[in-house]
Chains A and B, each alone.
Chain A
Amino acid sequence: MAERATSIAAGALVAEWRTAALTTAPEEEAIVAFLRERAAAGEPTLAVKILSAVGTTFATTFFLAFLGVSRLIDFTSPGNLVGWGIVAIAGGIVASATLRRMAVGVGRELTAQATFTAMAIGKVLIVAGVVTWGHGAIQWWTVTAALAAVTVATYPVSGSSLDRLLSPYAVIASALFDILETRVAGAATGATLTVFFVGLTAIAGGLLLPMRAPPVLRPIGLAALAGMGTIVAVIASGHDFGIWAGGAAIDPRGIEAVLTAALAGLIVWAAGGPAAARREGVVAAVVGAIALGFIGAPGIVYALGLLVLGHAHHDRPLRVVGILALPAFVVLWYYGRDMTFLAKSAALVGSGLVLLAARGFMAWRGLDRREAA
């Protein structure tokens, strides 16, 4: 069976670069040193990250149960919880510092696993301490602030990219909960949500699009992208769901406009930047994106954005998420309560016809048979 390659041998790659005059001898030395260092550190695959995350979850549960049953920690005392949480995180930071000096093997993995678990226990205890502050009167924004604080404190030393993704996403989800489920935004819930969406879009764009953005910050960009998807799912589920604390319907048009502009900008970026914006294929794609935005099906625009970004970055997981997002949105929309099936039908058929028209245009202009961007 033919398998698609996902990597290339380092020696062959360096030779290719040399032949194409893309690197110089001094650069090659630095490249070799970097790749050796990276190989020694053992960059984990996605499966390893998932396995590690499952182990962290299980171990955290057992140790928290131990702390609860043993009464070593007073779970009714916020100060006690926060104090022990800080101790656990400090322990995790110390353990992570030793990781770099350890040789690859079970001992190193055990230390890494213990580090993740200590960090997770610390985060849970600190957030639990904040939640129990004031004899159970939950301070919503304080929870978000606590999540943000532990994320900022642990992000630089966290050895798990999954943790680096999930922690910022927890902050975003908590902030979203604050906006929708508390009266903090008053009557301006919709406007606040739109501003929040603009912020997430800026973070995602700023960290995921520039090729030279530090890879260590990429999980924050992905968390922002996931936050955008969560908001799109919220507005696709129903604008007047009736469960938002503000009690008023959320006007989705601002968010849809930002999303459409983001897709158009993404297309231009993928085509090579502003200089490519005048090319016929790029103009047609931007016009199509704007037409899709006017139809009012944000899930489709979001999913197409994921697919374009994933294709541009050669990022298969992102492409898979984009493909799965399309049917997920269609199913989610089915249960949305504030539009009739007829209106939804018109939006779906309209979106489909826009895409098929674009397909016809591409065929007519011969854009589907050559490198168009």
Chain B
Amino acid sequence: MAEQAAGPTTAGFDDLAVDRRALDALLARGLISTAARDHALGLIEPPRDWGLWAGRLIAVVGAALVLAGIVYFFAFNWAAIPPLAKLGGIALGIAAAIATAAVLGLDHAAAGYATSAATVLVGVFLAVFGQIYQSGADAWQLFAGWAGLTVVWALVAASSATGAVWSAVVAGARVLWGPALPRGPGAATGSEAMLVAVASAAFLAIREILVGRGVGWPAARWTRLYLATPMLVAAAWAAIEAIVVSSFSAEGRHVPTVVGLAIVVGGLAVYRWVLRDGRVLAGAVVALTMIVDIAFYNLLARAGRAFEIQFLFLCGLVTLALFAAAVAWLRAATRAMEREDG
């Protein structure tokens, strides 16, 4: 980067963040040339490397489409395939995927995709087995068995892709387990979403601890969003569902509300002041603002005033103020984090 030379810039200007959209705006105003824009984009993001990018893209997409086509082919001929051939074919796929990972070595980039494929195929095998022999097992048991059978691969593979697949299987087991529980007076509304939120928060915490200790394989940024997104969505869902149901029934459902709120507030605090991630922080602010707004309406509803004229108007005003404050805070926090990160 060139040294700052004398020019029209002054204090306060030098630290302003210029992103792609600002460059587009400068170009559209005719203040910079296309060459200047391209030069700046090259500094913000790596050069486009079209050949390298296109090569990777079409290899991945091409392979995925061929695999999808094979799945469709099996779907077309499914009824005509003998049970042994169905199970044998899937088992062969598992063996091939594991062999690929073993031959390439777990450090190879493709090994992660191979172990991911093997993990998926174990679930396919269990589903087909249950379809052929009518085992009578619940869906959550299939997912739980799937997660149990592949947990060793998920740990040994040390691959973010395999870890993502495995955590999705665990999430599936948790989601399906809730409705399978005996329903009774103690079955709390929002508790299924709460289970997903708690487990996602646990996985996210493990991910952050591992990355903090220098473990490389879960460090890709998408893994954080992959876990934080369901955590925040499920936490907000659990809290809002419990609040809304409480509005129209005598029974209060406080546990999912408290747990959901705690996860959202905890996420907000951690990603604002400890790990400083603007995207997760923004998600937490959106979730928290929605919960608080709906909770305010719930207070009126519980007082039997949900549809009174003046309270509907008041809710509108409170909503405007609440979201305006949230937007102002998020903007200020984002600017502060940019300053803190230099």
Q: Measuring CB to CB, which residues of chain A are less than 8 angstroms from any residue of chain B? A: 1, 3-20, 22-23, 25, 27-32, 34-36, 38-39, 42-45, 47-48, 50-52, 54-56, 58-59, 62-63, 65-66, 69-70, 104-106, 108-110, 112-114, 117, 211-215, 218, 270-271, 281, 285, 288, 300, 304, 307, 311-315, 326, 330, 334, 340-342, 344-356, 358-359, 362-363, 367-373
Whether B328 lies near A105 (C-beta < 8 A) is yes
Residues of A within 8 A of B72 (CB): 334, 341-342, 344-345, 348
Q: CB-CB < 8 A to A4: which residues of B?
A: 45, 221
| Residues B285-342 near A (CB distance < 8 A) | 285-286, 289-290, 293, 307-309, 312-313, 315-316, 319-328, 330-331, 334
User: In the bound complex, do residue A48 and residue B282 qualify as a contact, i.e. CB atoms below 8 Å apart?
Assistant: yes
Report A258 CB to chain B, min CB distance, Å: 22
B267: min CB distance to chain A, Å: 14
With A54-B323, A352-B63 as given contacts, are A66 and B309 in contact (CB-CB < 8 Å)?
yes
State whether A22 touches B324 (Cβ < 8 A): no
Query: Across the interface, do A9 and B286 meet the contact criterion of CB distance under 8 Å?
Result: no
Is there a chain A Cβ closer than 8 Å to B120's Cβ? no
A136 to chain B, nearest CB (A): 25
Q: Which of B17, B31, B36 contacts A8 (CB 8 A)?
A: B17
11 contacts between A and B (CB under 8 A): A7-B22, A17-B36, A22-B36, A44-B327, A52-B327, A63-B313, A215-B28, A326-B64, A352-B69, A355-B59, A358-B58
Min distance, Cβ A171 to any Cβ of chain B, angstroms: 24
A-B CB contacts (within 8 Å), total count: 331
8 new A-B contacts, CB < 8 A, other than A12-B4, A48-B282, are A6-B44, A8-B40, A25-B7, A45-B278, A59-B323, A109-B324, A350-B69, A369-B51
Alpha-carbon distance between A346 and B75 when the two chains are bound, in angstroms: 13
Q: With A and B bound together, what is the CA distance between A10 and B319 in angstroms?
A: 36
Whether A22 contacts B62 by the Cβ 8 Å rule is no
Complex alpha-carbon distance, A354 and B59, angstroms: 10
Residue B137 at the A interface, CB < 8 A?
A: no
Asked if residues B313 and A34 are in contact (CB atoms below 8 Å), the reply is no
Query: How close is B221's CB to chain A, nearest CB, in angstroms?
Result: 7
The distance in angstroms between the C-alpha atoms of A345 and B156, with both chains bound, is 34
Among candidates B3, B76, B221, B334, residue contacting A3 with C-beta atoms closer than 8 Å: B221
Contact residue among A35, A313, A342 (Cβ-Cβ distance under 8 Å from B22) = A35
Task: Give Cα distance in the complex from A212 to B34, angstroms.
Answer: 9
Name the one of A1, A28, A213, A368 contacting B28, with C-beta atoms under 8 angstroms.
A213
**Cα distance A369–B54 when bound, in Å?**
10
A36, A270, A313, A359 — which one has the most chain B CB atoms within 10 A of its CB? A359
Query: Of A8, A330, A350, which is in contact with the most chain B CB atoms at under 10 Å from its CB?
Result: A8
Kindly identify which residue among A8, A104, A352, A353 contacts B18, using a CB–CB cutoff of 8 Å. Answer: A8
Please encode chain B, from 139 to 163, with 1 for each CB lying within 8 Å of some chain A CB and 0 for all others. Answer: 0000000000000000000000000
What residues of B have a CB within 8 angstroms of the CB of A104 in the complex? 331
Check if A34 sits within 8 Å of B315, measured CB to CB: no
Question: Which one, B51, B57, B290, contacts A373 given CB within 8 A?
Answer: B51
Q: Which of B17, B33, B55 is the one whose CB lies under 8 Å from A10?
A: B17
Closest to B219 in A: A1
- B213 contacts the other chain (Cβ, under 8 Å)? no
Quick one: which of A50, A59, A370, A373 contacts B286, CB cutoff 8 A?
A50
Within the assembled complex, what's the spacing in Å between the Cα atoms of A331 and B294? 35
In the complex, chain B residues whose CB is within 8 Å of the CB of A18: 2, 5, 7
Known contacts A47-B278, A315-B20; A304 and B324 CB within 8 A of each other: no
Closest to A362 in B: B55
A15/B17 in contact, CB under 8 A? no
Q: A66-B316, A215-B25 are in contact. Are A281 and B51 (CB under 8 A)?
A: yes
The interface residues of chain A, by DSSP majority, are classed as helix
Q: How far is the CA of A87 from the CA of B196 in the complex (A)?
A: 46
Interface centre among B70, B211, B320 (most CB of A within 10 A): B320
Which stretch from B8-16, B85-93, B94-102, B124-132 is at the chain A interface?
Answer: B8-16
Give chain B residues whose Cβ lies under 8 Å from the Cβ of A55.
Answer: 289, 319-320, 322-324, 326-327
**Cα-based distance from A11 to B15 in the complex (angstroms):** 6
B35, B73, B312, B323: most-surrounded residue (chain A CB, <10 A): B323
- 5 residue pairs, one from A and one from B, having the closest CB atoms: A55-B323, A11-B14, A47-B282, A355-B62, A368-B55
Instruction: Indicate if B24 sits at the interface (CB-CB under 8 A).
Output: yes
Measured CA separation A18–B342 after assembly (Å): 23
Provide the B35-56 mask, 1 if CB < 8 A to any CB of A, else 0: 1110111011101111111111
Chain A residues whose CB sits within 8 angstroms of the CB of B37 once the complex forms? 211
Q: Is the CB of B286 within 8 A of A355?
A: no
**Which residues of the other chain, A, contact B5 by a CB distance below 8 angstroms?**
15, 18-19
Say how far A264's CB is from chain B's closest CB, in angstroms. 14
B26 within 8 A of partner (CB): yes
A13 — which chain B residues lie within 8 A by C-beta?
Answer: 18, 40, 43
Contacts of A344 in B (CB 8 A): 69, 72
Report A16 CB to chain B, min CB distance, Å. 6
Our pick among A7, A66, A330, A353 for the contact of B68 (Cβ within 8 Å) is: A330
A-side contacts of B285, CB under 8 Å: 47, 51
Asked whether A48 lies within 8 Å of B18 as measured between CB atoms, the reply is no
> CA A352 – CA B85 in complex, angstroms?
25
Q: Are A51 and B289 in contact, with the CB atoms below 8 A?
A: yes
- Check A1–B323 contact: CB distance below 8 A: no
Q: A9-B16, A356-B66 are in contact. Are A25 and B44 (CB under 8 A)?
A: no
| Chain B nearest CB, measured from A15 CB (Å) | 5
A373:B50 contact, CB within 8 angstroms? yes
In the complex, A29→B26 CA distance in Å?
A: 12
Residues of A within 8 A of B323 (CB): 51-52, 54-56, 58-59, 113
Tell me if B322 and A352 are in contact (CB < 8 A). no
Query: Whole-angstrom distance from the CB of A10 to the nearest CB of chain B?
Result: 4
Report which of B16, B26, B313, B330 forms a contact with A66, defined as CB distance below 8 A. Answer: B313
The answer to whether B9 and A14 touch across the interface, beta carbons within 8 angstroms, is: yes
In the bound complex, residues from chain B placing their C-beta under 8 Å from that of A113 are 320, 323-324, 327
- Whether B21 sits at the interface, judged by CB under 8 Å, is yes
B61 at the interface (CB under 8 A from A): yes
Residue in A closest to B208 when the chains form the complex, CB atoms = A1
B35: which A residues are within 8 A, CB to CB? 22
| A9 to B55 alpha-carbon distance, docked (Å) | 32
Q: In this assembly, does B27 line the interface, its C-beta being within 8 Å of a C-beta of chain A?
A: yes
Residues of chain A within 8 A of B107, CB atoms compared = none
Give Cα A7–Cα B335 distance, bound, in whole angstroms: 13
